[in-house]
Structure 1
Amino acid sequence: MTSTQPDAPSESTKRLEEEGEIAADYLEELLDIADLDGDIEIDVDHGRAAVEIVSEDPSDRSLRRLAGQDGDVLDALQELTRLAVQAKTGERSRLMLDVAGYRAGRRAELVVIADEAIAKVRATSEPVALDPMNPFERKVVHDAVAAAGLTSDSDGEEPSRHVVIRPA
């Protein structure tokens, strides 16, 4: 007879935690090279490794440089971190990286944008196309639209790919 502990992490959770550890090591080296202070927090969120670089001092804004003005630097850093994880594990990573709360703040902004577009679709029964967004941003909008009971699609080619929200 075999027994399993209910709190034992699953194999996929262990793999995601390993991805987070590899990413943390990579990012620690990057912070050292860039002479930036920051702590690294690792989590598993929605079936993905989630890593965030946070400031030890809330008034220190130097980490925001790693996000860039519109998150472009953060997107590039996330891709480099995913490649570093892939080089160690041999598997493609879907790791999500946040720096100094940039993505969390952007997620809140996107939910407001999605809610406004959802209200317009409901009022007019006409589709609404949003401005171009990166994959992270489109995912946030798609999730908000699905939660509201409407449908959405991504349309166009990068970098002009955008979300179109439609009545259900």
Structure 2
Amino acid sequence: MTDSPASTRELRDTEPTLAQLEEEGEVAADYIEEFLDIADVDGDIDIDVRNGRAYIAVNASDDSDSNLDTLAKSETVNALQELTRLAVQSKTGAFSRLILDIGGSREAREAELSALVDSAIVQIQGGASTAALPPMSSYERKLVHDIVADRGYVSNSSGEGRERHTVITTS
């Protein structure tokens, strides 16, 4: 009995190849397209591969008044991203770290995270030794770590599971 490509990929310890990421993107786009059809939401889907991840962006169609904003809330995007990852994993047999953006939701969330970091830095500048941010996803924590480093501070993740959060310090 030979291993199927999916069962072999399930056990991989290495970064996915460009071809595997493109496959993830195609599977994810098909899933999202079907979801949008069921929800009767208009949107154009773009697929990109960068930084070892498949990125799926859903944007308003140029020729329509899209009701895409109904799905663009951070919690909704995160939930749909997890469902899409599960659909990809079911189809390919491999864990997916794809990123889903709906109507510019990721850019809006990055701005929110930047404001959170700025507020935490004000606390530290005011004398606090540390400032803890609320729990967030691993992707959002990575973004926070990058923002914190750009501001000249240090951050670490703390906590377990859904309570995992970022703590900012001066060193």
* TM-score, normalising length: structure 1: 0.80
* Partner SS, residue 124 of structure 1: coil
Alignment identity in percent?
Answer: 53
Query: 1:75 corresponds to which letter in structure 2?
Result: N
Aligned to 1:46: 51
**1:127–1:165: 8 Å Cα contact kept in structure 2?**
yes
Q: 1:15 aligns with which of 14, 20, 43?
A: 20
**In structure 2, which of residues 80, 86, 92 is the aligned counterpart of residue 89 of structure 1?**
92
- The one-letter amino acid paired with 2:90 is A
Among candidates 32, 35, 44, match of residue 30 of structure 1:
35
User: What is the aligned-residue RMSD (CA, Å)?
Assistant: 2.3
Deviating more after overlay: 107-116 vs 54-63: 54-63
Kept in 2, the 8 Å contact 1:52–1:100? The answer is yes
Match of 1:154 among 154, 157, 162: 157
Aligned-partner Cα distance in 2 for 1:58–1:145 = 40
- Partners of 1:151 and 1:167 within 8 A in 2: yes
- Which whole-Å deviations, capped at 9, do the CAs of 1:26-70 have from their partners, x for residues lacking one? 1111111111110001111321100011111498452122233xx
CA distance in 2, matches of 1:145, 1:114: 7
SS in 1 for 2:68: helix
Shift of residue 157, structure 1, vs aligned partner? 4.3
Contact 1:42/1:49, CA 8 A, preserved across alignment: yes
Q: Could you list the runs of 5+ residues in structure 1 that have no partner in the other structure?
A: 1-10
Aligned residue pairs total: 156
Asked if 2 retains the 8 angstrom alpha-carbon contact of 1:125 and 1:167, the reply is no
Q: In the aligned structure 1, how far is the partner of 2:130 from the partner of 2:110?
A: 22
Normalising by structure 2, what TM-score? 0.79
CA shift at 1:118, angstroms? 3.0
Q: Decide which moves more: 89-98 or 26-35.
A: 26-35
Q: Is the 8 A contact 2:43 2:66 kept in 1?
A: no
Residue 7 (structure 1) aligns with = none
